[in-house]
Amino acid sequence: MSPLMMYQLVALGLLAIGLYGIVWRKSLVGMLISVELMLNGAGLSIVSASQLTAADSATGQIATLFVMGLAAAEATLVLAIIVVVAKRFKSAETDTVSRLKG
Amino acid sequence: MELMAKIAFVVYTLLVLGGGCFAVGAHSLVRAMVGLITSLLGVAGMYMLMAAPFMAFMQILIYVGAVCILMFFAIMLSRADAHGVESGSRRPGKALLSALAFISPVFVIGWVIVNYQPESISIPLEVPLEVLGKGLLDNYALAFELISVVLLAAMAGAVLLAFDKKGRAAE
């Protein structure tokens, strides 16, 4: 088993855990945690693919930096949405929010 | 890989996957955050192992330092933990449904990873910081600027969304 494959399998594990969590979790914060796990898997996969093959290493690291920046922006926005939802529905649970009654 | 590197890889793998499982499975959201932080630190260790120390520092700075603190704020402000949102009973069959969500994509990607292996380098080379900075400001300057704008827009939008006008607070 080559080193690249080992790192890629760990990244795939993170993706699997994130996908499981996004369905399993009942609260919006829990789903946000799962999304962060998946984004980390993506970053790990990109860096390993660029560092451990003949591809340009700098490009892969820059791409992962962009992923981190997007994750930060996404977390900021989701935090604001969660705060608004929690104010209006008095709970951040997905079952409560899915009533669609405003 | 040398023996020490293999041992370190196994330790980091346990941290990453164990922390991830804890983050998804824990009943309390604060405990789930601790699992997430463990997982993020494990990924940072893997970056170190791949000779990308700058990425490891950025991982700790951005994810552990900024994103996780933000999520703690989200937990506090939404009072998600006060009534134990996650600890209540779930609909029957939810575990099966959740497992179905990841089985097919992970199976397909795993099959591709195992069967189509590109040539792998066993000892990665470290990229000097100057090359990274040059790449960010030279080749990918537009993407760099755009991501700054996206971050600014997200933060301005967050402030606008969460901002309460005095007259409307009682709504």
Inter-residue contact A19 to A85 (CB < 8 Å): no
* Distance of residue B42 Cα from the nearest chain A Cα, in angstroms: 10
Mean pLDDT, residues A2-18 taken together: 93
Q: Which helix (H) or strand (E) holds B22?
A: helix B3-25
* Distance of residue A58 Cα from the nearest chain B Cα, in angstroms: 6
Nearest CA in chain B to A51: B124
Share the mean pLDDT of chain A.
Answer: 88
CA distance B148 to B168: 32
Q: Does A96 touch chain B (CB under 8 A)?
A: no
The one-letter amino acid code at A79 reads: L
Give B71's contacts in chain A (Cβ within 8 Å).
29, 32-33, 36, 75, 79
CA distance A20 to B102: 6
Over residues A13-27, the pLDDT tens digits come to 999 999 999 998 888
The token pair at B79 is 């009072």
Q: Which of B9, B58, B131 sits opposite A58 (nearest CB)?
A: B131
Share the mean pLDDT of chain B.
Answer: 87
**C-alpha distance from residue A8 to each of A24, A89, B73 (Å):** 24, 41, 32
Inter-residue contact B106 to A14 (CB < 8 Å): no
| pLDDT above 70 (res A99) | no
Over residues B79-104, the pLDDT tens digits come to 765 556 666 667 778 888 888 888 99
Give A52's contacts in chain B (Cβ within 8 Å).
50, 120-121, 124
Inter-residue contact B34 to B86 (CB < 8 Å): no
Among A residues 16-75, those touching chain B with beta carbons less than 8 Å apart: 16-30, 32-34, 36-37, 40, 43-44, 47-48, 51-54, 57-59, 61-62, 64-66, 68-75
Report the range of poorest mean pLDDT among A38-47, A58-67, B90-99, B144-153.
B90-99
Over residues A73-87, the pLDDT tens digits come to 999 999 888 888 888
The DSSP letter of residue A93 is B
Which residues, listed in sequence order, are joined to residue A27 by a DSSP beta bridge?
A93
* A57 to B154: CB separation less than 8 angstroms, yes or no: no
The token pair at A21 is 């969590």
Inter-residue contact B99 to A16 (CB < 8 Å): no
Give B121's contacts in chain A (Cβ within 8 Å).
3-4, 51-54
Maximum pairwise Cα distance, chain B: 66
The three-class DSSP label of residue A27 is strand
Give B119's contacts in chain A (Cβ within 8 Å).
53-54
